[in-house]
Amino acid sequence: MDRTVLVVDDHAAFRAAARRLLELDGLRVVGEAADGATAIELVPALAPDIVLLDVGLPDVSGFDVADRLAGGTAAVVFISSRAPGDLGRRMRSSGALGFIPKDELTGEGVLRLWNASA
């Protein structure tokens, strides 16, 4: 069964490009959210396997969204156009599956993190 993904990022162009690429790589993008509040609303409704979560959201920090989702069924993969070293300590202390720089995003990369945790 195809893994389902929710893409959370405030840049529409990135969301569109990510949706296309992930679907070509065999994942099913079930929804998109442009900010943290929408993401927190959509996760219970859509019940995705994976939440692709941008660290720098316009309303709340991606880390805060991850804290809210912790304990649920959806696994979090952080994305950012910044380098992991520039993201500080909350990245390391979060319960996320891992981190992928936005420009290196591929379906395989996401699935690799998913499988490593399973």
Partner 1 sequence: MTALGAVVAAGLALGVVAYRVQVDELGRYTSPENAMAIVAVAWAFLLAGLVAWRRRPGNRLGPLMTLAAFALLLRQLRYSHDPWTFTSFFVLSEVSYALVAHSVLAYPGGRVTDRLERAFLAVGYTATLAFPLAILLVYDGSRQLRFFDPVARESAIVLVADGDFAIALQKAFVVLVWGVLASIFIGLLVRRLVRATPLGRRLLAPLLLAAVAVALRAVFEGVFTFVERPSIVLYTYLFWWQIVGFIALPLTLLLGLLRARLARAGVGDLVLELENAPPRRVREALARALHDPTLEVAFWLSAEGRFVDADGGPVTLPEDGARRAVTRLDHDGVPVAALLHDPALAQEPRLVEAAGAAARLALENARLHAETRAQLATVKESRARIVAAADDERRRIERDLHDGAQQRLVALALQLRSAQRELHPDGDVERLLDESVRELQAAVEELRELARGVHPAILTEEGLASALESLAHRTPLEVDLDVAEERLPPPVEATAYFVVCEALANVVKHAHATKASVRARRLNGLLRIEVADDGVGGAHAEPGSGLSGLSDRVEALGGRLIVVSGTGAGTRVVGEIPCAS
Query: By the criterion CB under 8 A, which residues form the site for partner 1?
Result: 11, 13-14, 16-18, 20-21, 24-25, 56, 61, 81-83, 85-90, 102-106
CB nearer to partner 1: pick between 68 and 90:
90
Write the CA distances from 89 to 84, 85, 86, 116, integer angstroms: 10, 9, 9, 22
Q: How far apart are CA 38 and CA 24, in angstroms?
A: 25
Smallest CA-to-CA distance from 9 within 27, 28, 31 is with 31
Q: At its nearest, how many Å lie between partner 1 and the CB of residue 44? A: 28
CB nearer to partner 1: pick between 104 and 116:
104
Q: Which residue is associated with the tokens 């993190």?
A: 113
Q: At its nearest, how many Å lie between partner 1 and the CB of residue 55? A: 9
Q: At its nearest, how many Å lie between partner 1 and the CB of residue 60? A: 13
Q: How far apart are CA 117 and CA 69, in angstroms?
A: 17
Q: At its nearest, how many Å lie between partner 1 and the CB of residue 81? A: 5
